[in-house]
Amino acid sequence: MPKPEFGSLFATRVEEMQGSAIRELLRQAGVKDFISLGGGYPSPESFPLPTIKLLRERVEQKPDYASRILQYGPTEGLPELLNILPGFLSRENRQVRATPENIAITAGSQEALAILGMMLINPGDEVAVESPTYLGALQAFNLNQPKYIEIETDQDGIIPASLEKAFQDHPNIKFLYMVPTFQNPTGRTIPFERRRQIADILIRYGKLAVEDDPYSEIRYEDESIPSIQSLAPENVIHLFTFSKTFSPDIRIGGMVAPKEIIEKANLIKQGLSLYTSNYNQALIYEYIAGGFLDQHIPEIVELYRPKRDIMAQAIIENLPDIFEFTLSKGGMFIWVKLKKEYESLASKINIKEVLKEAKEAKVGFVPGAPFFPYATGNEVMMRLNFTNQSEENIVKAIRIIGEILYKKLL
Ligand SMILES: Cc1ncc(COP(=O)(O)O)c(C=O)c1O
């Protein structure tokens, strides 16, 4: 039998899909002796191993373990978890207002992004994103063939005037996607006053926003800032995840949204995967209810803060000073880019070449391009992850990147 012509079988939505930066990162991370500053990986040391053992015992000793936990579960989520989440979400770092009926559990926040893309985007619809933005959101939304409107940002994230102008110039924008706290990739946080302005613009223009927040628990300094959802609950869908505070492998996250959105999200989710693992939801319920999460967050913060500081110091000492970086107050990334006054030097530094040479020296990072929906390919920027490497490896990797950059400038 002749082989099918796969090229002619692909749906238009996947025809133009290109190599995925995420897949490349996952591959790099597994190579021996390779120092990857690439993925948004937590440190394996951050996984609460003894606690996980205890939580498993608690779940497996439940009287309805076999009859309910190991059975198919409700699409919206496990009732115990749904009931405890409003308390978790109302903590200082989010101050999200939620009831169990406003929450849908998903397989990580990535599934929530995919569901929202399917729910809200028809081919050609306009979606506003921060510039730069989380590449995994672009990958999820791209399946639905949107047109992106890029919103300008500065050290404090979205510039409210740029958002307002986008809503004026593009009245059909379906929604704004943003990561206001310790953004991926820049590590930046939108201050409270700007959040108020953004909430006000959303309300005035009757617009919807998706506020993605995987990182606000992991704060190294300063006070928490309330979410934008808390300022405009009818206009904002808020995403959360336990990937960074428990383990990504658990694949438990979700969304808080007005009921109409939750109903549709559950219908889509049913078609995709029926429901999220009861077992893993029960583990997270026990993790929160037993006070283990509260105990563990400060340990994660103490583990990561010195790594961030050492990376910042290594950048200062080893990268040419035509570069600047954001000292993120939380999260997992430092973003390095050319200082404004040196942008003319961009033509001398082919960042793809820099990455190629870094990889030959067994060092990886993510260059700027994948974080822009319409990249030129030579965004001279680097996203550097500091959580998943030893302090020694961080310094070694930054030295290697610095040597390559200096050579390019000769
Ligand atoms: C901004 C943002 N959103 C979503 C995700 C996906 O996380 P998960 O699906 O593990 O919850 C990540 C992961 O790094 C992220 O940085």
Please choose from 109, 255, 383, 387 the residue to mutate so as to test ligand 1's pocket, defined by most ligand atoms within 8 A of CB. Answer: 109
Region at 222 (left for phi over 0; alpha for psi -120 to 50; beta for the rest): left
Percentage of the residues of the chain whose pLDDT score is greater than 90? 88
Pairing of strands 103-106, 253-256: antiparallel
Q: Is 378 a residue whose pLDDT tops 80?
A: no
Tell me the CA–centroid distance for residue 242 and ligand 1, in Å.
10
Q: Is 100 a residue whose pLDDT tops 80?
A: yes
Query: What is the per-residue pLDDT for 200?
Result: 98
Query: What is the per-residue pLDDT for 14?
Result: 85
Please choose from 105, 188, 212 the residue to mutate so as to test ligand 1's pocket, defined by most ligand atoms within 8 A of CB. Answer: 212
SS3 of residue 324 by DSSP: strand
Label residue 71 exposed, middle or buried (CB < 10 Å: 0-12, 13-18, 19+): exposed
Tell me the CA–centroid distance for residue 1 and ligand 1, in Å.
43
Contact at 8 Å (CB) between 203 and 163? no
Determine the Cα–Cα distance for residues 302 and 293; give it in Å rounded to an integer: 14
Q: Is 206 a residue whose pLDDT tops 80?
A: yes
382: tokens are: 């680097």
Query: What is the per-residue pLDDT for 410?
Result: 81
pLDDT digits over 338-373, tens only?
999 998 888 889 999 999 999 999 999 999 999 999
Residue 267: enclosing H or E segment and its boundaries?
Answer: helix 259-273
Give the nearest ligand 1 atom to 248 CA.
Answer: 10
Tell me the CA–centroid distance for residue 21 and ligand 1, in Å.
14
Show the domains of the chain with their CATH numbers. Answer: 11-47+295-409 (3.90.1150.10), 73-290 (3.40.640.10)
Tell me the CA–centroid distance for residue 88 and ligand 1, in Å.
18
Query: What is the per-residue pLDDT for 376?
Result: 87
Tell me the CA–centroid distance for residue 396 and ligand 1, in Å.
27
Residue of minimum CA distance from atom 14 in ligand 1 = 40
- In which residue are the tokens 């302005």 written? 197
Instruction: Give the mean pLDDT of the chain.
Output: 95
Determine the Cα–Cα distance for residues 129 and 153; give it in Å rounded to an integer: 10
Pairing of strands 323-325, 253-256: unpaired
Determine the Cα–Cα distance for residues 190 and 199; give it in Å rounded to an integer: 12
Tell me the CA–centroid distance for residue 195 and ligand 1, in Å.
21
Tell me the CA–centroid distance for residue 9 and ligand 1, in Å.
31
Q: Is 149 a residue whose pLDDT tops 90?
A: yes
Q: Residues enclosing ligand 1, CB less than 6 A?
A: 40, 108-110, 134, 136, 179, 184, 212, 214, 241, 243, 248, 253
Please choose from 184, 210, 239 the residue to mutate so as to test ligand 1's pocket, defined by most ligand atoms within 8 A of CB. Answer: 184
